[in-house]
Amino acid sequence: MGDMGDAFREYDAAKKAEKEAVLPGRQRQIRELAQHGFVVKVINDGYHYRIHSRIDLFPVRRRWHDLKTNERGHYDTPLELVEARIGVKVKDAACSTK
C-alpha cells in the first residue's frame, strides 16, 4: 500500500509542477486582453480574472464563466473566447489591469 501512496504523491507533485510551469504564460495572455481594449480585473491573485465585468477566466484549468448568460466551459485562447462571447473588439473601452 505504501508504494501506491508514494506513486500518487509523485503524480500529484508532477501535475502541480506542470500547472505552475504553464500558469505565467496563461496569466500573461489574459493580461494582454487589455491591449485589445478589454477591461481586465484581477480577482484572486492571478488565479481568477474578470473581463469587461462579464466573463470570469480561471487560467489554471482554462475555465470560463459568462456572468450574463451563466454559461461555462473551457477555452483555448482567452482573446478568441472573449471576442466570441462579448463580440468584436471593444474599441472605446478604457484599458486597465486593476
3-class DSSP state for residue 29? helix
The set of cell numbers assigned to 24 is 505565467
Contacts 24+ apart (CB under 8 A), 41-44: 41/96, 41/97, 41/98, 42/97, 42/98
91 pLDDT higher than 70: no
Query: What does the pLDDT read at residue 88?
Result: 62
**pLDDT tens-digit profile of 6-24?**
888 888 888 888 878 889 9
Alpha-carbon 45 to chain mean position: 12
Look at residues 97, 98, 75 and name the one whose alpha carbon lies nearest to residue 36: 97
Confidence at residue 98, expressed as pLDDT on a 0 to 100 scale: 45
Q: Where do the domains of the chain lie?
A: 2-86
